[in-house]
Amino acid sequence: MSDHKKSQIGIIGMGWVGSSVASSILHQGICNELLLNDLRDGLAEGEAMDFNHGSSFYPTANVRSAKIKEMHNCKAIVVTAGRGGKPGETRLELLQDNIGIAKDIATQLKGYQGILIIVSNPVDVLTYFYQKFSGIPSGKVIGTGTMLDTARLRSIAGKRLNLNPRSIHAQVIGEHGDSEVVLWSSATIGGESLRNWDGWNGKGEAEIAEEVRKAAQEIIKRKGATNHAIGLVTATLIKWILRGERRIVTLSTSLEAAFGLTNVALSLPCILSGNGVEKVLEITMTEEEKSNFFNSAEVIKKAIAEVENS
């Protein structure tokens, strides 16, 4: 860890989400230098000053503002830049505003060798375009995708069953948005099918899926943004990559063959290694789940086509 270049992480965009990502990274001691960037120079600098003043309370790290071109030695760069969602607005409605920002940032990242993590919404469409605009290999451009939705699902199901969410093995795939798919058929607790678990009510599945789907909107309605959970998700994702933990995580990447899909990015369980997404898994689904998953892919493909044809 003595070589700072080996443990640098960059964050582009220091709004609500960027600052939460930074806080989670610092508390988890993931790097020894954190570079912050925002279009508003003063904001990135102010955040760096603020974090450094708290340096007695997290593992040793230096925080400073930086230009994007200074981040090319970072092991990972997180992109949260872009306009956030408004109450009642879908993630796809954000697209036109955020695609121009993506093109500008991606151009500055050409030749980058590390892992690029996209958090900005709509995350699937932007993951696709960041990969396309930057030319970075697809396995190294990773959208946080449904990693957060999966965490929300486990939290909500765990609360209903009075179990720790870590003990709920259930996944959300597809779009990080309204067409996402909960894989109830393969959900398990302690090796037992969730649907066979004592006290589980199958009639409540649609209600839980809807609660997961609408979670962000409910939070935005109350406080204007979602930031803490996605900050924890992103920091933990980086930690697993840097430690080469080879976890299986639901993440968004540009698909090259899985389920016959190409030219689209969306979430499926992936083997995550120190090099990024090593393999996308073609998991077993019911016919209904598969149909809903392909529908989700079409929703994202349509959004991608609208950008390409505009």
Using DSSP, state whether 110 is helix, strand or coil. coil
Which helix (DSSP H) or strand (DSSP E) does residue 271 occupy? strand 265-273
Contacts 24+ apart (CB under 8 A), 168-172: 168/194, 170/194, 171/146, 171/250, 171/269, 172/146, 172/212, 172/250, 172/267
Structure tokens at 189: 């607790």
Using DSSP, state whether 276 is helix, strand or coil. strand
**27 included as an active-site residue:** no
**Active-site annotation holder among 53, 72, 169, 176:** 176
- Establish how many alpha carbons lie within 13 A of residue 7's alpha carbon, considering only the half-sphere containing its beta carbon: 18
Burial class of residue 28 (count of CB atoms within 10 Å of its CB; 0-12, 13-18, 19+)? middle
Q: Which residues are catalytic?
A: 176
